[in-house]
Chain A
Amino acid sequence: MASLAPDVLIQLGPVPITNTLVNTVFIDALILIGVFFLARNIKKVPGTFQNIVEMVVDIFYNLTSSIAGKNAEKIFPYFLTFFLFILLSNWSALLPGAESIGFYPKETHVEESHEPTEKEIVTSNDHATPKDTHEEVAPSTTEKSHEKEEKHLISLNRNLTSDINATLALAIISLVATHMLSIKALGIKEYLGKFFSLNPILLFVGILELVSEFTKMISLSFRLFGNIYAGEVVIATISSLFAFLAPIPFMSLEILVGLVQALVFAMLTMVFMSVMMTSHHEQSH
């Protein structure tokens, strides 16, 4: 069963390198290589890859401009970046071999091998002499029967969005970008006028909106994290029961859920940006 927190692989000074960080680097490399490859070979009559990319950009730009109106040019880069990044990282966990290569942690063997020594010297003297020569084999076989907790595989590469730190970071980026775009489009006076005003009813509404900014951040991060992490746990559980044909419907559900969650995160970001960028007088109720 996958753990809730990401597992630390190595510690480079003050920065722990976790296995979700490795996945971030993979996804970044994938996107950047795709972009550089495309930008170098743009043709007037497009090939297949360029055709697909143009279709995706076109569909999402039409969606953005139908919701955001005249601010679509500033909002669209954020929308498509969030969508592509989250989609690729949701789907990358379903590739074979993406999460199964790893190692078992060796530290529990070293620490717990000192404890059974007293028990074994008391109970039987047969285990005492092989313990001096084979220090790794004998304690591990005896402590596997003694220990009650199961060790889980630390994989070298784990799904980026099944880490609450990553989704919280994405939600904070989306929130900060929304507010900065809003300040840029409206100016400081009108931006502050959305939250604080002299009219008491509007002041109350403004404070509620201020609180709802924080709940937006929490709900965005938890929605993405919960969906992807629950899917990962379900696939791990089913694979531990019967690994051959039974995970197939769950994996296809995971494909669909990954697509929908990426779309929802990106669309919510776009809708919040477009709402914050229209001033109070232009909003039609």
Chain B
Amino acid sequence: MEFSITGGLIVALGGIFPAIAIGLIGSRAMEAIGRNPEAAGRILPAMLLGMAFAEAIAIYSLILAFTG
């Protein structure tokens, strides 16, 4: 198993902003659920959808780390 420095750098730099974005989405969703616990069934799928969009950017950089 060989380690590559460029691969590690690609993933590390490409994962900073998606991680922040996912944290922000999660925190706003927690706030909204705490304010209105009955709406949790409608907030949760929307939160998961938003998180998947944000995570996709990190996945693009992960693919480049394997091939580059």
A237 to chain B: closest residue by CB: B1
B62 touches A223 (CB 8 A): no
A226, B49: Cβ atoms closer than 8 Å:
no
A192 within 8 A of B: no
* A interface, size bucket: 20 to 34
Contacts of A63 in B (CB 8 A): 45
A-chain residues with CB within 8 Å of residue B49 when the two chains form the complex: 264, 267-268, 271
- The residue that A223 contacts in the complex, of B1, B45, B52, B66, with Cβ under 8 A, is B52
A227-B59, A230-B62 in contact; A1/B1 too (CB < 8 A)? yes
Q: Beta-carbon contacts of A184-224 to B below 8 Å, as 1s and 0s? A: 00000000000000000000000000000000000100110
Asked whether, in the complex, the Cβ of A230 is within 8 Å of the Cβ of B48, the reply is no
What residues of chain A lie closer than 8 Å to B67, measured between beta carbons? 4
A150 to chain B, nearest CB (A): 10
Q: A1-B1, A4-B67, A240-B1 are in contact. Are A226 and B62 (CB under 8 A)?
A: yes
A84 in the interface (beta carbon within 8 A): no
Q: Is A8 an interface residue (CB 8 A)?
A: no
Q: In whole angstroms, what is the CA distance A263 to B49 when docked?
A: 9
B40-68 vs A, CB cutoff 8 Å, 1 = contact: the mask equals 00000100110010011001101100110
Alpha-carbon separation in the docked complex, A233 to B67 (Å): 13
Judge whether A128 is part of the interface by a CB distance below 8 angstroms.
no
Which residues of chain B are within 8 angstroms of A229 by Cβ–Cβ distance? 63
Residues of chain A within 8 A (CB-CB) of B55 are: 223
Q: Contact: A226 with B60, CB < 8 Å?
A: yes
A62 to chain B, nearest CB (A): 10
Question: Is A35 in contact with chain B by the CB < 8 A criterion?
Answer: no
Residue in B48, B52, B60 whose CB lies within 8 Å of A222: B60
CB distance from A231 to the nearest CB of B (A): 11
- Tell me the nearest residue of chain B to A218, going by C-beta: B60
In the bound complex, CA of A4 to CA of B64 (Å):
12
Q: Which residue of B lies closest to A264 (CB)?
A: B52
When distances are taken between beta carbons in the complex, the residues of chain A under 8 Å from B56 are 219, 222-223, 226
| B59 CB contacts on chain A under 8 angstroms | 222-223, 226-227, 230
Could you say which residues of chain B place their CB within 8 Å of the CB of A240? Answer: 1
Complex: A268 Cα to B50 Cα, angstroms: 11
Chain A CB within 10 Å, residue with most, of B59, B62, B63: B59
The distance in angstroms between the C-alpha atoms of A1 and B63, with both chains bound, is 15
Q: A223-257: which have CB < 8 Å to B?
A: 223, 225-227, 229-230, 233, 237, 240
Sample (16) of A-B pairs whose CB atoms are under 8 Å apart: A4-B66, A4-B67, A63-B45, A222-B56, A222-B63, A223-B52, A223-B56, A223-B59, A229-B63, A230-B59, A230-B62, A260-B52, A261-B52, A263-B48, A267-B45, A268-B49
Give me the interface of B with A, judged by CB distance under 8 Å.
Answer: 1, 45, 48-49, 52, 55-56, 59-60, 62-63, 66-67
- A interface residues, Cβ below 8 angstroms from B: 1, 4, 63, 219, 222-223, 225-227, 229-230, 233, 237, 240, 260-261, 263-264, 267-268, 271
10 more A-B residue pairs beyond the given contacts A223-B59, A229-B63, with a C-beta to C-beta distance below 8 A: A222-B59, A222-B60, A223-B52, A226-B59, A227-B59, A230-B62, A233-B66, A260-B52, A264-B48, A268-B49
